[in-house]
Amino acid sequence: MTTSSSRPRIAIVGYGSQGRAHALNLRDSGFDVTIGLRPGGPTEIKAKADGFTVKTPAEAVAGAELVAVLTPDMVQAQLYTDVIEPNIAQGACLLFAHGFNVHYGQITPRADLDVVLVAPKGPGALVRREYEIGRGVPSVYAVYQDKSGKAEQFALTYCGGIGGARQNAIKTTFKEETETDLFGEQAVLCGGATKLVQAGWETLVEAGYQPEVAYYECLHELKLIVDLFYEGGITRMHEFISETAQYGALTRGPYIVDEHTKAQMKKVLTEIQDGTFARQWIAEYKAGNANYKAMKQADLDHPIEATGKKLRAAMAWLSTAPQPATQPASATAANTAAKTEQAAA
């Protein structure tokens, strides 16, 4: 990719949570940013209100030296085939925020392109907020294809533009980013945590305890522990919980998460590594998502949700507290970014 300066012209395709944060941060860092969106959609109105030049995805891609694909995973393959590949300039840089499609062979980038990844470890609203106050959300970056010999520098330049380089950016690979991100979401952050909370609540309610009290103990107070983890790891948790809680955790925690649990985690990882999960998810999406929708609805209909809705209505601070870090993403999956939180272009 040839550029007239160290700051390439950038097209952001997609304007969801991550897309908007990246675009605003890059513009504030002095980059020339154009947004590529389908005409007439709500994200087009939002991008124009933010003062951006908005073009069709094909037009935005054609005029860019770096194209950032910030749409949901499941629409990216067709977007690449129909719009990006026919229009992206020879020798340009193609950037992703999640390696799913490249790693699992849904997208085979043109041989003349630099192909990189920059993935902030946080939802888009947090990426924007941290940038605005002079900090940055930690990011990982990777190079998949280095045609120009400068692909890594382009990734780091972009990472710096969104604020990620203010924290020591970690170099990774498309394989490592994709597989660890999926594992974290499935085994711990989303799948594991949800099932643990639901099972704990069910156990107490089935034993005759009030569902409201069970909600506080198994879901509501989880935030207190997660905040301690976030601030200082397991060490900080031990500093702030009682000795009774510590002893109970140390002696009974292994009842819940034992060698069988770890074996199941290894199964989850194997199915990510060998492509089983990706094939299932791609097939599910192509078939219309009937199973996915049914499973999601079952989660939403779990009785803990009705209990929580009633209790949260009395928590006035929830309606006035900042919301960005809890907006769905992805999950980056914090990151589920760049994944679930992204709106379609």
Residue 221, marked binder: yes
Residue 16, marked binder: yes
Residue 32, marked binder: no
Q: How many CB atoms lie within 10 A of CB 326?
A: 13
What letters, b where the CB count within 10 A reaches 16 and e where it falls short, cover 255-267? eeeeeeeeeebee
Residue 185, marked binder: yes
Kind of pairing between the strands at 139-145 and 53-55: unpaired
Residue 275, marked binder: no
Ramachandran region, residue 207 (left: φ > 0; alpha: ψ -120 to 50; beta: rest)? alpha
**CB contact at 8 A, 34 and 52:** yes
Residue 132, marked binder: no
Instruction: Mark whether 98 is an active-site residue.
Output: yes
Residue 177, marked binder: no
Residue 153, marked binder: no
Residue 243, marked binder: no
Residue 181, marked binder: yes
Kind of pairing between the strands at 93-96 and 114-120: parallel
Three-class DSSP category at 234:
helix
Among candidate residues 98, 103, 220, 238, the one labeled active-site is 98
Dihedral sign, CA of 129, 131, 134, 139?
Answer: positive
Q: How many CB atoms lie within 10 A of CB 282?
A: 18
Sequence ranges of the binding site: 15-18, 38, 43, 124, 181, 185, 217, 221, 242
Catalytic residues: 98
Sequence ranges of the binding site for substrate: 242
Sequence ranges of the binding site for NADP(+): 15-18, 38, 43, 124
Sequence ranges of the binding site for Mg(2+): 181, 185, 217, 221
